Chain A
């Protein structure tokens, strides 16, 4: 890709970016949120057309007007959120769209042979007849990789592939990626995680605010240098924090059980624990082990089957969401579903939790637009929320990272004793992560209780004062981040190890 420039209204998403991918190399693409990584990949994959610049493959200029063109050129992509049909088998998903047929009937046997051959060759173990909904996330990802290989793609784009994996699965993926490169496939690896880039990549290109910063050989660099290139300043990769000084209990959960929407069983089973003021307790676990339902139950989005919740001594088991929100701030897992009204302006989103506050009303009924604007401008400034048009920007048009920052600004600034942060740094860059982690620790140091729900091991180990591991809806371990190792935590998360947890 040479001199790619892509413009959006008000923003230059890619400014004269040149990226060269060699055959058989793993090339990492690193950059902050909104740095233009996704845009660049979308141009390569044919989802957007660049205003300037050209794409060449094997020296020949090519035109990529849509993903089909990309596929014809051997460019494949594993999206961050897998594009698989849940009720189809692995094999059916792999051949979807490129089925070999004879007289209108599927010829699965031939396809199966090819898939098994590929699977052996690259060490991608899958069960071709298992349904997607029944297999692990890691195997789903392998299915996605096989999809690309089945289409004889030579350039493979991995968009933040490790975000959803356990440590063990990440290890396996790294080995697979190296195998693929050895067989002559070229890999573009998008990631925020510096340690993974250091481990697996050959070279790394860095983007910052739409501009190309440079490409470095991994063997000549280190994590600090990379993060400096990405953010433009020195970043602390490990957050400094004083030991926690836990005070009186803020949140007391006893025997909480929440029903599942997906299946007949309970998603959260008899969970009990306490969070005290001045400490950060982290609920760690692999995605889909009941954390979502647990948070719904805690914040009032779903009713409990049984159990009780006490917040600051008050029983809030049956309290409404609004009543709970007086003491509880909630950074939701899904910012588009819960966190934002995407079609509202940024300023309206900034007051989503407190628009009814007399401060923002005239005569109890009319919105005080001036007060709302001032408040929103203040938060934008304090939390460095970047957008095209400031307070009046429609939330939908903002980058994911800045949407997240807006939510965090709103929830932290709001009156609360307990902050529930669900994957607060999902999809954010190191600069923003540093900021958010610092904010969480500041909250703690102010004597607030913080409950962090996270899938990211590094975050769990770095930020929390106490770790509770959730596996299949139960708490299976309580760990101290100072004395435990990532490997041990991984074993608990995978359900290989467990102990009784008492409140």
Chain B
């Protein structure tokens, strides 16, 4: 009875194909929108987005800006992993955005106000992110509150708490927090010489390889461990998990704590690189956590695939800034990248269509 699956029937191949279809469609629609707004610059515009750091002619400059993209890929990857991990237990952790926010607040406060070294700041971010996840998990496990609802509410609670908290460490002349580099050098994550690979881009720290290592660890936990077996069983069928004597409440909470910790660590990976400052007047939840959703789906819900999809999404997001501002208003860049990211979320849909198509063809053949 055992039948060898054809190349196209393998799940991994299908995920990758579906991702590629999404990317192409996203770019196509992005191009059409550019065309509709102003036909003259559409071709160069979409190319500028796709090229991102390759827009620079010299190799050192390219490497430098590739470094910038990587700096932001690391936190995106962490948020994506947070969502991916929770999704495997049947939980949609839209609260990753808020866990990222409180992680930012925690690490910046620890760095700027308390003057602590980077690893302690990182730990703060992980802990507070975990606490935020714990709140969602507790509500879900014991009061059956939908994790999407509590997650979104906590996103906003987190945002304004962090704005309040970080107002104590902001620059006197701007709404931004003080620079980590000038306030507390010890809070910057070490580069271990990585920056030399990227034309001395000092923002490239060990956060980048760390994020990739975390992705691999998450993959191992999910695919190879007893814990992964348990939480996925809980995700697929809570009742059967209970029947098998698993503590499904504990598993739900633990998963969200880990998810929160991942997103919190992601925030530290960004802010402890010194690349960005937090604006205490911002009134919308940073998009990092939400882009993580797209990255997770584009990555086929696989931690390893998520490494590549996160890079791609950050690549497009960064590429948006190279759109010719004299032809297109600056919001267009965001719009185009959003469209592409949005389409990336359809990867499961395309995968399903692909499978159906294959089955039909097979039926016809036989």
- CB within 8 Å of B: which residues of A? 7, 9-11, 51, 299, 301, 320-325, 330, 332, 337-344, 348, 352-353, 355-356, 361, 364-367, 369, 387-390
Contacts of A324 in B (CB 8 A): 245
B1 and A321 within 8 A (CB)? no
Quick one: closest A residue to B241, CB to CB?
A341
Q: Given A341-B236, A388-B1, are A325 and B245 neighbors across the interface (CB < 8 Å)?
A: yes
Q: What CA separation (Å) do A337 and B236 show in the bound complex?
A: 11
Contacts of A352 in B (CB 8 A): 233, 240, 244
Minimum distance in angstroms from B149 CB to a CB of chain A: 25
Determine if B227 is an interface residue (Cβ-Cβ < 8 Å): yes
Minimum distance in angstroms from B90 CB to a CB of chain A: 10
B245 and A322 within 8 A (CB)? yes
Contact of A321 among B225, B233, B237, B245 (CB under 8 A): B245
B229 and A355 within 8 A (CB)? yes
A356 and B240 within 8 A (CB)? no
Minimum distance in angstroms from A109 CB to a CB of chain B: 45
Contacts of B239 in A (CB 8 A): 337-338
Quick one: closest A residue to B245, CB to CB?
A322
A366 and B243 within 8 A (CB)? no
B224 and A366 within 8 A (CB)? yes
Contacts of A299 in B (CB 8 A): 243
Determine if B362 is an interface residue (Cβ-Cβ < 8 Å): yes
B1 and A389 within 8 A (CB)? yes
A355 and B226 within 8 A (CB)? yes
B196-250 interface (Cβ within 8 A of A) = 224-230, 232-233, 236-237, 239-246
Q: Which 3 A-B pairs have the closest CB atoms?
A: A322-B245, A338-B243, A321-B245
Q: What CA separation (Å) do A387 and B3 show in the bound complex?
A: 12
B237 and A340 within 8 A (CB)? yes
Quick one: closest B residue to A352, CB to CB?
B244
Q: What CA separation (Å) do A343 and B229 show in the bound complex?
A: 12
Determine if B366 is an interface residue (Cβ-Cβ < 8 Å): yes
Q: What CA separation (Å) do A9 and B361 show in the bound complex?
A: 12
Quick one: closest B residue to A356, CB to CB?
B226
Q: What CA separation (Å) do A344 and B236 show in the bound complex?
A: 8
B243 and A301 within 8 A (CB)? yes
Q: What CA separation (Å) do A341 and B238 show in the bound complex?
A: 9
Q: Which of B1, B229, B239 has the most chain A CB atoms closer than 10 A to its own CB?
A: B229
Q: Which of B243, B246, B366 has the most chain A CB atoms closer than 10 A to its own CB?
A: B243
Q: Which of B3, B233, B241 has the most chain A CB atoms closer than 10 A to its own CB?
A: B233
Minimum distance in angstroms from B205 CB to a CB of chain A: 30
Q: What CA separation (Å) do A355 and B359 show in the bound complex?
A: 34
Q: What CA separation (Å) do A301 and B240 show in the bound complex?
A: 11
Q: Given A9-B359, A9-B362, A10-B3, are A342 and B245 neighbors across the interface (CB < 8 Å)?
A: no
Contacts of A366 in B (CB 8 A): 224-226
Q: What CA separation (Å) do A361 and B242 show in the bound complex?
A: 21
Known: A321-B245, A341-B240, A387-B1. 5 other contacts (CB 8 A): A9-B362, A339-B240, A340-B240, A341-B233, A361-B226
B332-366 Cβ-contact flags toward A at 8 Å (1 or 0) = 00000000000000000000000000010011001
Quick one: closest A residue to B362, CB to CB?
A9
14 CB contacts below 8 A, A to B, read A299-B243, A321-B244, A325-B244, A330-B243, A340-B237, A340-B240, A341-B237, A344-B232, A348-B229, A353-B245, A365-B227, A366-B225, A388-B1, A390-B2
Contact of B236 among A51, A301, A342, A367 (CB under 8 A): A342
Q: What CA separation (Å) do A351 and B93 show in the bound complex?
A: 29
B247-272 Cβ-contact flags toward A at 8 Å (1 or 0) = 00000000000000000000000000
Q: What CA separation (Å) do A356 and B247 show in the bound complex?
A: 13
Minimum distance in angstroms from B96 CB to a CB of chain A: 24
Contacts of B227 in A (CB 8 A): 365
A10 and B363 within 8 A (CB)? no
Minimum distance in angstroms from A174 CB to a CB of chain B: 37
Instruction: Sort chain B's interface into a size bin.
Output: 20 to 34
Q: What CA separation (Å) do A342 and B237 show in the bound complex?
A: 8
B243 and A321 within 8 A (CB)? yes
Q: What CA separation (Å) do A367 and B222 show in the bound complex?
A: 11
A7 and B240 within 8 A (CB)? no
Q: Given A348-B229, A355-B229, A366-B225, are A321 and B363 neighbors across the interface (CB < 8 Å)?
A: no
Minimum distance in angstroms from A289 CB to a CB of chain B: 22
Q: Which of B2, B227, B230, B245 has the most chain A CB atoms closer than 10 A to its own CB?
A: B245
Contacts of A339 in B (CB 8 A): 240, 243
Minimum distance in angstroms from A120 CB to a CB of chain B: 45
Contacts of B225 in A (CB 8 A): 365-367
B366 and A51 within 8 A (CB)? yes
Q: What CA separation (Å) do A51 and B236 show in the bound complex?
A: 33
Contacts of B243 in A (CB 8 A): 299, 301, 321, 330, 332, 338-339
Q: What CA separation (Å) do A356 and B246 show in the bound complex?
A: 10
Q: What CA separation (Å) do A365 and B226 show in the bound complex?
A: 6
B226 and A367 within 8 A (CB)? yes
Contacts of A323 in B (CB 8 A): 245
B245 and A320 within 8 A (CB)? yes
Q: What CA separation (Å) do A247 and B162 show in the bound complex?
A: 68
Q: What CA separation (Å) do A299 and B243 show in the bound complex?
A: 8
Contacts of A330 in B (CB 8 A): 243
Contacts of B226 in A (CB 8 A): 355-356, 361, 364-367
Minimum distance in angstroms from B229 CB to a CB of chain A: 6
A338 and B240 within 8 A (CB)? yes
Quick one: closest A residue to B246, CB to CB?
A322
Contacts of A340 in B (CB 8 A): 237, 240
Quick one: closest B residue to A322, CB to CB?
B245
Contacts of B1 in A (CB 8 A): 10-11, 387-390
Contacts of B359 in A (CB 8 A): 9
Q: What CA separation (Å) do A247 and B236 show in the bound complex?
A: 41
B63-102 Cβ-contact flags toward A at 8 Å (1 or 0) = 0000000000000000000000000000000000000000
Q: Which of B2, B228, B232, B244 has the most chain A CB atoms closer than 10 A to its own CB?
A: B244
Contacts of A364 in B (CB 8 A): 226
Contacts of B362 in A (CB 8 A): 9
Quick one: closest B residue to A354, CB to CB?
B244
Contacts of A11 in B (CB 8 A): 1
Minimum distance in angstroms from B365 CB to a CB of chain A: 10
A51 and B240 within 8 A (CB)? no
Q: What CA separation (Å) do A207 and B290 show in the bound complex?
A: 54
B229 and A389 within 8 A (CB)? no
Q: What CA separation (Å) do A390 and B3 show in the bound complex?
A: 11
Q: What CA separation (Å) do A406 and B289 show in the bound complex?
A: 42
Q: Which of A323, A352, A355, A388 has the most chain B CB atoms closer than 10 A to its own CB?
A: A352
Quick one: closest A residue to B220, CB to CB?
A366
Contact of A344 among B233, B242, B363 (CB under 8 A): B233
B236 and A353 within 8 A (CB)? no
B245 and A389 within 8 A (CB)? no
A389 and B237 within 8 A (CB)? no
B363 and A51 within 8 A (CB)? yes
Minimum distance in angstroms from B228 CB to a CB of chain A: 8
Minimum distance in angstroms from B187 CB to a CB of chain A: 34
Minimum distance in angstroms from A439 CB to a CB of chain B: 20
Contacts of B240 in A (CB 8 A): 337-341, 352
Q: What CA separation (Å) do A366 and B224 show in the bound complex?
A: 6
Q: What CA separation (Å) do A9 and B2 show in the bound complex?
A: 11
Quick one: closest B residue to A390, CB to CB?
B2
Contacts of B2 in A (CB 8 A): 389-390
Quick one: closest A residue to B5, CB to CB?
A389
Q: What CA separation (Å) do A387 and B1 show in the bound complex?
A: 8
Minimum distance in angstroms from A229 CB to a CB of chain B: 24
Q: What CA separation (Å) do A355 and B224 show in the bound complex?
A: 12
Minimum distance in angstroms from B300 CB to a CB of chain A: 16
Contacts of B366 in A (CB 8 A): 7, 51
